[in-house]
Amino acid sequence: MNLIQSLRPEARQAPESGIVAVANHGRGKPGLIPLWAGESDLTTPDFISQKTIAALQAGETFYTWQRGIPELRQALADYHARHFGGSFRPDEFIVTGSGMQSIQMALDAVAGHGDEVIYLSPAWPNFPAAVGIAGATGVAVPLERTTQGGWVCDPGAIEAAITPRTRALFVNTPSNPTGWTADRETLAAILAIARRHDLWIVADEIYALFCYGANRAPSFLDVADPEDRIIYVNTFSKNWAMTGWRMGWLKIHPSLQQVFENLVQYSTSGVPQFLQRGGVAALEEGDDFLAGQVEQAGRCRDALVDRLVATGRVRAVPPQGAFYLFFEIEGVTDTRAAAISIVDEANVGLAPGTAFGPGGEGFFRACFHRRLDLIEEAADRLAGWISAR
């Protein structure tokens, strides 16, 4: 028996990221415009980094609060009150080592071996992969494609997928990769299902403020009661160009604090205090930066959609939220092979829809959270590639 075969099956069977596989093909190619990763091309703003540098120079290099420093949990409460209305308390928040870790901890809290977790598909692949490593089974419920090229969720399809093993519903809105953004009625319908079947909701609303035509996307916070079984997972990555910081948070019912503190203690044992100082700055001083990012992303979205639709071979509507366009090209079915060709021939990096599970096969994902001129250039190259086929 070789070494890999003697590993736990759930670990050795975890899939390689289908995004990384194409990105590896194009890494370092001169002139390539990479739109495969979910991050902007801006470095973290100075007002954030400077706070972290100051804390590091001041020697904040010891073990720290497993739940997060009090200042950061207060800043999270204030941020939520400002953007979502109502009032929030610091003890509703747990600082984590990334949005991904927030998801891992939420899963550890609600589902394990033999359990099922329902999620909407196409989906960010890391979620079902983490479910599999936890020994649970991810059950994909497809979003429906509209004739115009948008996406809708049928809550009835969620309810139909529930079995006695179902423990949780994972709802990502606005959605990566589709941009589907649940309206309030859909959220209320999903919540009613969760209540009816005693299920947890893991709410991934990390793109809530990347919403076009509204200040923010509808949230489960708008429809839920405090006692509802909802765990909100979130990240500093997207709002403030902090993808490389690996910081996130959870919003939970305060009665669950000690359980989640234990999950922090026994997974990464906390987040560097000097990084958390930067997080405080992001939350307290970052609204303008964020608003500017969203405004720019909206312009980039329109530029990309307009140019692709103009080819006559792409059916797409501007997504309401997040910063991805998930689109088909008429006549292209093997999108993984095509993504490689597009790297080679158009010098643009797209993520193949195959990376996003059931319903994603015929699609490409382009991140448009970039400088406008780069998006325009990438869109022109893609349009040229499409027209030449």
14 binds a copy of itself, rule: CB under 8 A:
yes
213 binds a copy of itself, rule: CB under 8 A:
no
Q: Which of residues 17-76 bind a copy of itself (CB under 8 A)?
A: 17, 20, 37, 39, 43-44, 49, 52-53, 56-57, 59-64, 66
| CB-nearer residue toward a copy of itself: 95 or 378 | 95
Of the candidates 175, 219, 131, 220, the residue with the CA atom closest to the CA atom of residue 325: 175
Find the binder of a copy of itself among 8, 28, 148, 225 (CB under 8 A). 8
Q: Tell me the number of residues near a copy of itself by CB under 8 A.
A: 79
Instruction: For residue 256, give the DSSP letter.
Output: G
CB of 269 to a copy of itself, least distance (A): 4
| CB-nearer residue toward a copy of itself: 9 or 384 | 9
| CB-nearer residue toward a copy of itself: 49 or 311 | 49
| CB-nearer residue toward a copy of itself: 229 or 307 | 229
Task: Report in angstroms the alpha-carbon separations of 361 from 121, 304, 313, 333.
Answer: 11, 21, 17, 8
CB of 104 to a copy of itself, least distance (A): 5
Find the binder of a copy of itself among 200, 289, 323, 368 (CB under 8 A). 200
Q: Report how far residue 36's alpha carbon sits from residue 115's, in angstroms, rounded to the nearest whole number.
A: 32
160 binds a copy of itself, rule: CB under 8 A:
no
Q: Which of residues 227-246 bind a copy of itself (CB under 8 A)?
A: 227, 229, 241-246
108 binds a copy of itself, rule: CB under 8 A:
yes
- Left if phi > 0, otherwise alpha if psi is -120 to 50, otherwise beta: which for 85? left
Q: Report how far residue 98's alpha carbon sits from residue 126's, in angstroms, rounded to the nearest whole number.
A: 13
Q: 248-251 and 230-235: which strand pairing?
A: antiparallel
Q: What is the largest CA-CA distance in the chain?
A: 59
> In one letter, which amino acid is 361?
E
CB of 76 to a copy of itself, least distance (A): 19
Phi, psi of 347 (to 5 degrees): 60, 40
Q: Which two tokens stand for residue 59?
A: 């020697």
Q: Report how far residue 106's alpha carbon sits from residue 219's, in angstroms, rounded to the nearest whole number.
A: 18
CB of 102 to a copy of itself, least distance (A): 10
For 148-170, give one letter per residue: b (16+ CB within 10 A) or e: ebbbebebeebbeebeeebbbbb
3-class DSSP state of 66: coil
Q: Report how far residue 281's alpha carbon sits from residue 82's, in angstroms, rounded to the nearest whole number.
A: 15
| CB-nearer residue toward a copy of itself: 248 or 321 | 248
253 binds a copy of itself, rule: CB under 8 A:
yes
Find the binder of a copy of itself among 192, 259, 291, 337 (CB under 8 A). 259
| CB-nearer residue toward a copy of itself: 297 or 314 | 297
Find the binder of a copy of itself among 83, 84, 91, 133 (CB under 8 A). 133
Q: Report how far residue 52's alpha carbon sits from residue 55's, in angstroms, rounded to the nearest whole number.
A: 5
Cβ–Cβ under 8 Å, residues 234 and 206:
yes
CB of 215 to a copy of itself, least distance (A): 27
Find the binder of a copy of itself among 114, 312, 358, 384 (CB under 8 A). 114
Find the binder of a copy of itself among 158, 194, 201, 263 (CB under 8 A). 263
Q: Report how far residue 375's alpha carbon sits from residue 15's, in angstroms, rounded to the nearest whole number.
A: 30
| CB-nearer residue toward a copy of itself: 52 or 335 | 52
Find the binder of a copy of itself among 70, 112, 156, 312 (CB under 8 A). 112
| CB-nearer residue toward a copy of itself: 110 or 314 | 110
| CB-nearer residue toward a copy of itself: 16 or 185 | 16
Cβ–Cβ under 8 Å, residues 313 and 330:
yes
101 binds a copy of itself, rule: CB under 8 A:
yes
| CB-nearer residue toward a copy of itself: 56 or 309 | 56
Q: Report how far residue 270's alpha carbon sits from residue 276's, in angstroms, rounded to the nearest whole number.
A: 10
CB of 334 to a copy of itself, least distance (A): 24
Nearest 10 degrees: CA dihedral of 34, 38, 40, 45?
Answer: -140
3-class DSSP state of 310: coil
